[in-house]
Amino acid sequence: MNPKALLGVFKKEMPDGSIIKDTENALDFIGFPQANKSNFKTISKDGYKMLNTPSSYYENAEQFWKEYNKPWLDDIVSKKGDFVILSDKTDDLLKYKWTKNPITGKVQYDVVPGTTSRIKTGFGSEIDYMEDLVKQGKYEWDSVTGIYKSVNP
């Protein structure tokens, strides 16, 4: 059986002060164990895989993406696993880093210095990764179930 990976936002404060905890809630609900450096790609529970590493593994977004997030995604793709999306993949507030202007209360997206390109969150990078696989014809998005499915399972 192919693994089912769960992707979503761990803990993100929204402009209205609410907190999106889709991944944290799933971790708690499943009782998913925390991974270590040697088993973060292989650990699973009840047929589900999640990237649940200690926060001490995170130095910065680029380092975490290269050392943990992308290798974890690549491993599941190599097994033709499905990706269940727990959070709203169309919500830019979840996909990009932003700040709230303390005076106006308006949201301003953080941009790469010297450009107009928005800085992605980890979730935003995951969604871009999956959308690239859709463009390559390796995965398809099922909007009814909220799952990226391997085209050739």
pLDDT-derived band of residue 102, with 50, 70 and 90 as boundaries? confident
How large a percentage of the chain has pLDDT more than 70?
99
pLDDT digits (tens, 9 = 90+) for 59-74: 998 999 999 999 999 9
pTM to 2 decimals?
0.92
Which residues fall within 8 angstroms of residue 140, CB to CB, at 6 or more apart?
Answer: 134, 148, 149, 151
Kindly report each contact of residues 65-69 with a partner whose C-beta sits within 8 Å and lies 24 or more positions away, as own/partner.
65/122, 65/125, 68/40, 69/122, 69/125, 69/126
Number of residues that this document lists for the chain: 153
Query: What percentage of the chain carries pLDDT values higher than 90?
Result: 89
pLDDT, tens digit, for every residue of 1-53? 577 999 999 999 999 999 999 999 999 999 999 999 999 989 999 889 999 99
d(CA 31, CA 136): 34
